[in-house]
């Protein structure tokens, strides 16, 4: 069994710029460089057979490449703000919605459940679990100036393995866009 998600990884140069927005604060656990991504779908634990079958179906998709624009930043707070996630925003675009919907249909056709919560496209930059960081306001102010874009030419099936410094991601399959 492997813990999997389907996502779009960001170019290294954009990842470094986004990570530079994260305040230097002991309460924050920044995402690891090279692993910033937009999650299209979290799948959870799948058997190797299910993963192979899903990969075959995803490889047959014919979706167009598109431009993704990052803009804004925010915080998802939990436990009354004691825990949370700092994120970079994504401007809504029809090609991204179409890709998400098409992949959703493939997942459902394989009898796999979709997440219960609504999809909120974002890039997770850091997490905290002991109260909000001191420099949260500065992070949010920097987010107002965020404006980056890149061409999305592929998405991936990714295995997530917990590690002492956060999850480690390993690409299990890459699916090019037209």
pLDDT value at residue 78: 86
Can you tell me the distance from the alpha carbon of 147 to that of 78, in angstroms, rounded to the nearest whole number?
A: 27
Name the residue with tokens 């299990």.
172
Selection from 6, 18, 8 nearest residue 151 by Cα: 8
What is this structure's pTM?
0.92
**Reduced to 3 states, what is the DSSP secondary structure of residue 99?**
helix
On the question of pLDDT at 83 being above 90, the answer is: no
Strands (E), 15-167: 28-30, 37-46, 66-78, 83-90, 122-128, 147-152, 154-161
12-51 pLDDT, tens per residue? 999 999 999 998 888 889 999 899 999 999 999 999 999 9
Tens digits of per-residue pLDDT, 89-138? Answer: 999 999 999 999 999 999 999 999 999 989 999 999 999 888 777 788 88
Which of 177, 153, 112 is CA-nearest to residue 11? 153
């Amino acid at each position: 069994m492997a813990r999997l998600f389907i996502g779009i990884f960001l170019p290294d140069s954009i990842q470094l710029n986004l990570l530079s927005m994260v305040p230097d604060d002991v309460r924050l656990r920044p995402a690891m460089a090279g692993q910033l991504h937009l999650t299209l779908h979290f799948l959870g634990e799948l058997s190797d057979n299910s993963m192979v079958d899903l990969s075959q179906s995803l490889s047959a998709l014919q979706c167009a490449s598109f431009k993704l624009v990052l803009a804004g930043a925010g915080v998802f707070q939990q436990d009354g703000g004691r825990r949370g996630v700092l994120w970079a925003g994504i401007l809504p675009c029809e090609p991204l919605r179409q890709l998400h919907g098409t992949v959703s249909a493939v997942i459902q056709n394989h009898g796999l459940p979709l997440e219960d919560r609504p999809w909120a496209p974002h890039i997770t930059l850091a997490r905290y679990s002991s109260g909000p960081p001191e420099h949260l306001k500065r992070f949010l102010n920097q987010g107002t100036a965020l404006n980056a874009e890149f061409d999305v030419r592929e998405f991936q099936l990714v295995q997530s393995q917990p590690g002492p410094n956060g999850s480690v991601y390993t690409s299990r399959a890459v699916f090019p866009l037209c």
